[in-house]
Amino acid sequence: MIKPVGSETLNPLFVYDTEEHHKLMSEAESLPSVIISSQAAGNAVMMGAGYFNPLKGFMNLADAMGAAEKLTLADGSFFPVPVLCLLDNIDAISGAGRIALRDPNMEGNPVLAVMDVAAIEEISSEQMALMTQQVYRTDDINHPGVNNFNKQGRFAISGPIQVLHFSYFQNDFPDTFRTAVEIRNEISERGWKRVVAFQTRNPMHLAHEELCHMAMERLECDGLVIHMLLGKLKKGDIPAPVRDAAIRKMVELYFPANSAMITGYGFDMLYAGPREAVLHAYFRQNMGASHFIVGRDHAGVGDYYGAFDAQSVFTEMVPEGALEIEIFMADHTAYSKKLNKVVMMREAPDHTKEDFVLLSGTKVREMLGRGMAPPKEFSRPEVAQILMDYYQSLDS
């Protein structure tokens, strides 16, 4: 199986030893503590689950600036985005060498991790602006990722962490949430050697389904890991439980047995387009995938990124050898009326726009909200029914 990034074996930061876990939980109750942001909590979960291997904790300012500007940390190792724990008030932990990080997303704010504080640094407006521009390629506060990044605070607390639970993800998505360790183990148990991963924050329509079949066939893969984001999204995105149900129905009906795993990860979407595409590849390698699908406007939002910026970033910015995972660069896929099947649009040069079944997201949402299923060339009827039920529940 493919090696993790930056090490021979995966090094998750979750404390699995029962005795050590109990000891740390007891200690944490007496430590100075702070409720961290949802984004920082997602970062802690990803480190606990092994997806951010080989990070040992939250980055200091030098490492964060290096990741933003050059995709490398101060020691020269590769990492595509800053992984920060930002606070707007440090009074509760000022001067402390060891602290408890509390979960903002669960009732009672339970302890998520224990940190050995290496530094507390105030980030200047100029440094924040530079990181924002480098990662998101815009400083527009209307960009959901820019807005979320900049509202967390200006104090960066850094240092190694020991993760004690996986936030709400394990409780709310027991059948779907999986750590990188668990996915690696299941890939081994299934006997898969070549594995392609598919990222999604949305339900999968027919074009997505067929893209996965195309990638598996062309790459000669044994299996597919559908890896859905389970964390916070922007307003208007479909909630994770609805996406989960729709994807499960699709796989149940339209994929052969033992060909696809349905999994999810606990992380808040950045909407950082090209830079987030690299991050997605990074943690897919850590979970054991040998290949990763990057499509048109991957991880994008609005009109902030070019259609294929998330593909060109791998040749323009990622240092050679930094990642072993191979990128399957896909074009927009759609149903061809001429060929009576889903194709990549670049592979049908004799087609005009009118030769494809193309529906905007707005149009699809309007149809579903009115109880109208999109055409069968766009969405499987069983998937459409789940989405119609959801949209109609919003009006009831």
Q: For the chain, how are helix, strand and coil distributed in percent, rounded to 5?
A: 40, 20, 45
Residue 11 lies in a domain: no
Domain shared by 262 and 217, yes or no = yes
Whether the Cβ atoms of residue 168 and residue 128 lie closer than 8 Å to each other: no
User: In the structure, what pLDDT confidence band is assigned to residue 238 with cuts at 50, 70 and 90?
Assistant: confident
Residue 202 lies in a domain: yes
What is the model's pLDDT at position 174? 92
What is the model's pLDDT at position 232? 81
Residue 201 appears among annotated catalytic residues = yes
What is the model's pLDDT at position 391? 87
Residue 139 lies in a domain: yes
What is the model's pLDDT at position 4? 98
Cβ-Cβ contacts under 8 Å for 360 (sequence gap 6 or more): none
Domain shared by 142 and 212, yes or no = no
> Is a pLDDT exceeding 90 seen at residue 109?
yes
Q: How far apart are CA 278 and CA 293, in angstroms?
A: 11
Here the tokens at position 15 are 């404390």
**Percent of the chain residues topping a pLDDT of 70:** 100
Within its chain, how far is the Cα of 31 from the centroid? Answer: 31
Domain shared by 197 and 240, yes or no = yes
What is the model's pLDDT at position 396? 62
Domain shared by 150 and 183, yes or no = no
> Is a pLDDT exceeding 80 seen at residue 125?
yes
**Catalytic residue among 202, 284, 370, 380, which?**
202
Cross-strand pairs, 227:
199, 263
User: In the structure, what pLDDT confidence band is assigned to residue 362 with cuts at 50, 70 and 90?
Assistant: confident
How big is the chain by its Cα radius of gyration, in Å? Answer: 21
Domain shared by 142 and 30, yes or no = yes
Residue 252 lies in a domain: yes
Question: What SS3 class is residue 290?
Answer: coil
Domain shared by 128 and 192, yes or no = no
CATH number, domain of 276, equals 3.40.50.620
> Is a pLDDT exceeding 90 seen at residue 368?
no
Q: Write down which residue in 170, 193, 214 finishes a domain.
A: 170
- Residues 153-169 have pLDDT tens digits of 999 999 999 999 999 99
Cβ-Cβ contacts under 8 Å for 140 (sequence gap 6 or more): 146, 304
Q: Write down which residue in 150, 170, 190 finishes a domain.
A: 170
Domain shared by 85 and 159, yes or no = yes
Rounded to an integer, the average pLDDT of 134-158 is 97
Residue 1 lies in a domain: no
CATH number, domain of 108, equals 3.10.400.10
Residue 313 lies in a domain: yes
Domain shared by 150 and 293, yes or no = no
> Is a pLDDT exceeding 70 seen at residue 28?
yes
Q: Write down which residue in 141, 170, 199 finishes a domain.
A: 170
Domain shared by 126 and 227, yes or no = no
> Is a pLDDT exceeding 90 seen at residue 144?
yes
Residue 9 lies in a domain: no
Domain shared by 227 and 316, yes or no = yes
What is the model's pLDDT at position 53? 97
What is the model's pLDDT at position 118? 98
User: In the structure, what pLDDT confidence band is assigned to residue 359 with cuts at 50, 70 and 90?
Assistant: confident
Residue 70 lies in a domain: yes
> Is a pLDDT exceeding 90 seen at residue 394?
no
Total number of domains constituting the chain: 2
Rounded to an integer, the average pLDDT of 52-69 is 98
156: left (phi over 0), alpha (psi -120 to 50) or beta: beta
Which of 160-169, 352-361, 369-378 has the highest average model confidence (pLDDT)?
160-169
Whether the Cβ atoms of residue 327 and residue 294 lie closer than 8 Å to each other: yes
Rounded to an integer, the average pLDDT of 189-193 is 96
**Catalytic residue among 154, 201, 248, 365, which?**
201
What is the model's pLDDT at position 360? 79
- Residues 250-292 have pLDDT tens digits of 999 999 999 999 999 999 999 999 999 999 999 999 999 999 9
92 DSSP assignment: G
Domain that holds residue 59: 18-170
Cβ-Cβ contacts under 8 Å for 182 (sequence gap 6 or more): none
What is the model's pLDDT at position 39? 96
Q: Which residues of 54-71 are buried (b: 16+ CB within 10 A; e: fewer)?
A: bbebbbbbebbbbbbeeb
Domain shared by 353 and 252, yes or no = yes
> Is a pLDDT exceeding 90 seen at residue 336?
yes
pTM of the predicted structure, to 2 decimals:
0.94
Residue 202 appears among annotated catalytic residues = yes
Domain shared by 31 and 146, yes or no = yes
Rounded to an integer, the average pLDDT of 171-179 is 94
